[in-house]
Chain A
């Protein structure tokens, strides 16, 4: 466990592969990401972005011979411990439409066994501007409000790393602005890993960028080392490579 506390990397990914039948969704993916970084993962549909995110968040097990550590925790051997430190915001809300905002947060607070849960829920509902709607069913919320509640859910246990799976998908410009603000406020205290199709938004937010194609890493660089035109060119060529 001492390794877990001392590691300087949020992600240590070594030769991670994952096959579905004959198809290789991930093929020997390797990279390291320091703590506090914001990684944007780009790639065409079917490139393996979501599989990589699911692997890192313990939802999908990598194939044998792979090694992936998140915050020093092995994604297979230490999965239960690792889940205490992960938050996820997806294009799906991951919320129960037939529960109120308050009930949804209470449910997830119970799953994480958070102490003083009501205080924490009140703080987060106030923070995302939904305190006045706390007793309303989530199915009555707009997409933007649902996404804000998703953020509150993801932050309940104060996770160290937050996975974002196309979080801007389906949001109107106003809701996108609100999500930008919320991410900006917690940016410096968390590590972020975001899957995105939006090159502009992804590059604007990230400290590191990664392009996947056919399940392989085509580019992994710090944002400061990236020339936007060159990046766009690499991405266009990558899309041309098609899927894995």
Chain B
């Protein structure tokens, strides 16, 4: 082993002529893909986030079912369906967001990331896109189940196409994953990280939740003029996503150094 390590350290790496000018050929895209692939591989192996998020969402649906079973036959579930759906998704996402940063802190892996020649916003995008993918996977299972349990028997002759609800879910999820990644990074080293994330998450996400719940509600209800209101709400939610993810991008280095 001694001879072999000596060989490794005296042998010049093939890329050394380019490196000796003072830097490696750093590619932000390559680093982004590495972070994303690593998170996906760990999740596929441990299934920690998706399993806990999925089970939690299922539990919330069961509680909804019990509550709505006692609401009487005249209760129009579709009037509050969008709110219930997003409530399940917001609570579920908070579980996943915390988990996504915890395994970075274990064994000092976050420090190893920070010690590598990587721009901090690339870490943010890698983690945020990973969180978005996991959240969308859970939504793919939860949303049809939600429709089946609560809306299949509802009178929805006027409701909009399902893809409109899907758009509201995707726009909402982008904001939840983006801003949530920043907030989870802020809270991960605090004592009550779950509590801290919730305290910061709801007020900051309120404008987005207001817009996407209104958009999804319009699509489900199909009231007169719903298409116009739907797109207005989606535009507002998209603007929120762009603004807040831009701010998260800019602040991420400061948050990590703090």
The CA of A72 and the CA of B46, in the complex, are separated in Å by 43
Shortest C-beta distance, A146 to chain B (Å), equals: 9
- Asked whether any CB of chain A lies closer than 8 Å to the CB of B23, the reply is yes
- Asked whether any CB of chain B lies closer than 8 Å to the CB of A112, the reply is yes
Are B4 and A126 within 8 A (Cβ)? yes
- Asked whether any CB of chain A lies closer than 8 Å to the CB of B225, the reply is no
The CA of A155 and the CA of B13, in the complex, are separated in Å by 12
Are A158 and B117 within 8 A (Cβ)? no
List residues of chain B with CB within 8 A of the CB of A96. 38, 42, 103, 107, 109
Do A115 and B14 contact each other (CB < 8 Å), given the known contacts A81-B22, A90-B108, A96-B42? yes
- Asked whether any CB of chain A lies closer than 8 Å to the CB of B153, the reply is no
Are A98 and B46 within 8 A (Cβ)? yes
Are A108 and B112 within 8 A (Cβ)? yes
Number of residues on chain B facing chain A (CB within 8 A):
45
Interface residues of B, dominant DSSP: helix
- Asked whether any CB of chain A lies closer than 8 Å to the CB of B113, the reply is yes
Which residue of A88, A95, A97, A114 contacts B15 across the interface (Cβ within 8 Å)? Answer: A114
Contact with B along A89-113 (1 / 0, CB 8 A): 0101111111100010011101111
Are A98 and B117 within 8 A (Cβ)? no
CB-nearest residue of chain B to A109: B34
Number of residues on chain A facing chain B (CB within 8 A):
50
Stretch in A41-49, A116-124, A199-207 with 4+ CB within 8 Å of B: A116-124
CB-nearest residue of chain A to B11: A123
- B residues adjacent to A (C-beta < 8 A): 1-2, 4-11, 13-15, 22-27, 30-31, 33-35, 37-38, 41-42, 45-46, 103, 106-109, 111-119, 257
The 21 sampled A-B contact pairs (Cβ below 8 Å) are: A59-B111, A83-B116, A84-B24, A93-B107, A94-B109, A94-B112, A95-B107, A96-B107, A103-B38, A110-B33, A111-B31, A111-B35, A111-B113, A113-B24, A115-B13, A116-B13, A116-B14, A123-B8, A128-B5, A185-B5, A186-B9
Closest 10 pairs (CB-CB, A-B): A110-B34, A92-B108, A94-B112, A115-B15, A127-B5, A111-B116, A83-B117, A84-B117, A127-B4, A127-B8
